Amino acid sequence: MKGSYRAFVMVGTIPGQDEEVAKKLLAFEEVLEVHFISGDYDLLVIVEISLHGKTIFTPVQEIAQFVVQKIRTVNGIRTTSTMLPLRSITKLE
Amino acid sequence: MKGSYRAFVMVGTIPGQDEEVAKKLLAFEEVLEVHFISGDYDLLVIVEISLHGKTIFTPVQEIAQFVVQKIRTVNGIRTTSTMLPLRSITKLE
Amino acid sequence: MKGSYRAFVMVGTIPGQDEEVAKKLLAFEEVLEVHFISGDYDLLVIVEISLHGKTIFTPVQEIAQFVVQKIRTVNGIRTTSTMLPLRSITKLE
Amino acid sequence: MKGSYRAFVMVGTIPGQDEEVAKKLLAFEEVLEVHFISGDYDLLVIVEISLHGKTIFTPVQEIAQFVVQKIRTVNGIRTTSTMLPLRSITKLE
Amino acid sequence: MKGSYRAFVMVGTIPGQDEEVAKKLLAFEEVLEVHFISGDYDLLVIVEISLHGKTIFTPVQEIAQFVVQKIRTVNGIRTTSTMLPLRSITKLE
Amino acid sequence: MKGSYRAFVMVGTIPGQDEEVAKKLLAFEEVLEVHFISGDYDLLVIVEISLHGKTIFTPVQEIAQFVVQKIRTVNGIRTTSTMLPLRSITKLE
Amino acid sequence: MKGSYRAFVMVGTIPGQDEEVAKKLLAFEEVLEVHFISGDYDLLVIVEISLHGKTIFTPVQEIAQFVVQKIRTVNGIRTTSTMLPLRSITKLE
Amino acid sequence: MKGSYRAFVMVGTIPGQDEEVAKKLLAFEEVLEVHFISGDYDLLVIVEISLHGKTIFTPVQEIAQFVVQKIRTVNGIRTTSTMLPLRSITKLE
């Protein structure tokens, strides 16, 4: 988690609009990957915010703003559930 | 729980209307705080009812009336889930 | 959200140990209130972290550490679900 | 809701102990009916508290006490979820 | 369960239409009680089907038909979840 | 649904005992198929009860008995959720 | 799982359109059975994809395509949840 | 998805064993990242299977085997929920 902060947003779409929603989401600079998934939600979206020069709380606030003001205004989205990593460990750390 | 009764209402909003819903909810006298939260719901609303001069059941009935007749009539709300404290303990008790 | 950061932790307890768990949780300095609630979880715990002199991410990291290293090590807890406020508005702001 | 207050408690049991749990629950004076149900929970328990001579909040507090101190101490119970009627209407009202 | 078969239907309503939906549901002959409840659903509806002269499967089929053809066609209902008692025990049995 | 009645039982197992539980379940005469599935549950079990010579309610009662007295007594099962078909349509009807 | 791959799709319908949705779903070649079920979803749909001459991933991709492009475009569907069998065992294996 | 197949496994841990479970999971070759997350589960685990020289179904079968035989046998895990990408799109495709 050196230079960026990731969050995982599960998205429920209005049936029949999945493909279009996925494309629109991927067009956002902050969206890295969109997965069509099995289970109660339809899409798993991986979002990344750069930490460069950020002050206290900024990354969490930016994720919040991004989800509320960008993702949730895309037509065809019915519901979202954001999973915020509280701490992350990876192979390389 | 001397002079007031609190309830916690989780609110799912129609995507794209979160900010507006939050402002409308905060405008109600009974609403103390509105939190944009991670997870399956979008807003956590803290509601407080005064106990002054109330008779039996009144606070629970007022919470019920407030949720059904005020909160749930706000445009942009998709679903609500009310958590009623059955008993509460705080640092000061 | 000037001097502190709050989070809401829903706790599922092992049946029969609710009272004891609630008391132990309230004994933590960071725990302000514990509510016995109706619904799928048993307790709603309000946690507060001071922001005094914190650097980037510290409050979220402290909540995470507090939930994992303090709350979740209390005997009698079966499961927890943390709701992180992404942004909060109150009557006084 | 003239002389009594009802609540609905969904109970998840430890597999293999359903019958025994159901019998123990029905033995409580406050338990009227126990239903083995399809779905995520195993039992639906109908609980009734008399309102006779009660002061403010007493019925809700008694339900809370009954669930925490009686139902949840029965061996074989894994989890409970209480649905509190905020208001009720019946054919006879 | 001598002369009748009961089922419990949890109903999620479109916010703002709870009162109207509750009244319409209670107007059905098969609906005994409607409770406004705390939690993920908004109403708990108690349904009763007479067993008089019924042949195999009829009560379950009638519940199914009643939920699909009557309850779910009421305007203002967003979702339903039916809990079918597989077996019931009461104080009087 | 001419000569038999099917139900779908989702099973949550104790981690590490999935294979063993699946084999034990398949050994029951009433169990036709066991699927290891993605999602919140671990196994989807297809159960079939013969309708031969059954009187009123018998199939539903047998499913109930089978789930409570057979499936739920298998070691390694943590939770079950039964979906009862209220009505079924197939290609051949 | 020799010549075909099955998946289980739980479907939530818009209330009042269950019958019509069920008929439309059964009209798809890939849909074997449609069950009206108790619980949080309304229909359980059994889908089968032939494995004949398929290359790597094709069956899972076809299920995905079928759910997104066929099932989810049927009018009256509100939400779907797909359970993918990771491995299956049956009486005959 | 050229040379590998990813799946997302949400893990619920036994409270108090989160750190230890996370470390054990990261020690598996197939586990790329482990995130401590807010919400109903405790860890989000990103798993990757190489597609090199695989025949039909192998990747999904390997994920299934890995989840059942490796992840779910780690001490301290209470429950898992696997989200299988049915299709994925990324910035680079």
**What are G16-68's pLDDT values in tens digits?**
999 999 999 999 999 999 999 988 899 999 999 887 666 545 677 788 889 99
C42 touches chain E (CB under 8 A): no
Task: Tell me the count of D-F CB pairs closer than 8 A.
Answer: 25
Query: Cβ of F87 and G35 within 8 Å?
Result: yes
Whether G14 and G43 have beta carbons less than 8 Å apart is answered as: no
Alpha carbon dihedral B67, B70, B73, B76, in 10-degree steps, equals -80
Q: How far is H31 from chain C (nearest CA, A)?
A: 21
C36 touches chain D (CB under 8 A): yes
Q: How far is H86 from chain G (nearest CA, A)?
A: 6
B52 touches chain D (CB under 8 A): no
Predicted-assembly ipTM surpassing the 0.90 threshold: no
Q: How far is A48 from chain F (nearest CA, A)?
A: 25
Whether D76 and D17 have beta carbons less than 8 Å apart is answered as: yes
Instruction: List CB contacts (< 8 A) between E8 and chain D.
Output: 8, 35, 37, 44
Q: How far is H16 from chain G (nearest CA, A)?
A: 30
Measured in whole angstroms, how far is the alpha carbon of residue F38 from the centre of its chain? 17
Residues B11 and B67: their CA atoms lie apart, in Å, by 11
Chain D residue nearest residue F79, CA to CA: D15
Per-residue pLDDT at B64 exceeds 90:
no
Instruction: List CB contacts (< 8 A) between D81 and chain G.
Output: none
- DSSP, collapsed to helix, strand or coil, labels residue H37 as strand
Give the list of residues 6+ apart from residue F29 with CB closer than 8 angstroms, or none: none
Query: Cβ of G39 and E81 within 8 Å?
Result: yes
Per-residue pLDDT at A1 exceeds 50:
no
C61 touches chain H (CB under 8 A): no
Position of tokens 């430890």? D14
C-alpha torsion sign, points F35, F40, F42, F44: negative
Closest CB to C40: pick one of D69, D73, D81: D81
Percent of chain A whose predicted confidence (pLDDT) is above 70: 88
pLDDT band at B38 (very low <50, low <70, confident <90, very high): confident
How far are the Cα atoms of B35, D46, D83, F88 from residue D51, in angstroms, in the given order?
A: 36, 16, 18, 45
The string of pLDDT tens digits covering residues F41-92 is: 999 999 998 876 665 456 777 888 899 999 999 999 999 999 988 888 888 6
**A52-59 mean pLDDT:** 62
Q: What does pLDDT average to over chain E?
A: 87
Cβ neighbours of H61 (radius 10 Å): 15
Per-residue pLDDT at D38 exceeds 80:
yes
Per-residue pLDDT at B5 exceeds 50:
yes
How far are the Cα atoms of D8, F59, G23 from residue F93, in angstroms, in the given order?
A: 40, 20, 12
C-alpha torsion sign, points F40, F46, F49, F51: positive
D15 touches chain G (CB under 8 A): no
D23 touches chain F (CB under 8 A): no
**H8-37 mean pLDDT:** 95
pLDDT band at H53 (very low <50, low <70, confident <90, very high): low
Q: How far is A2 from chain B (nearest CA, A)?
A: 23
Mean pLDDT by 10 residues, chain C (93 residues): 80 94 96 92 93 64 87 95 88 64
Residues H84 and C59: their CA atoms lie apart, in Å, by 33
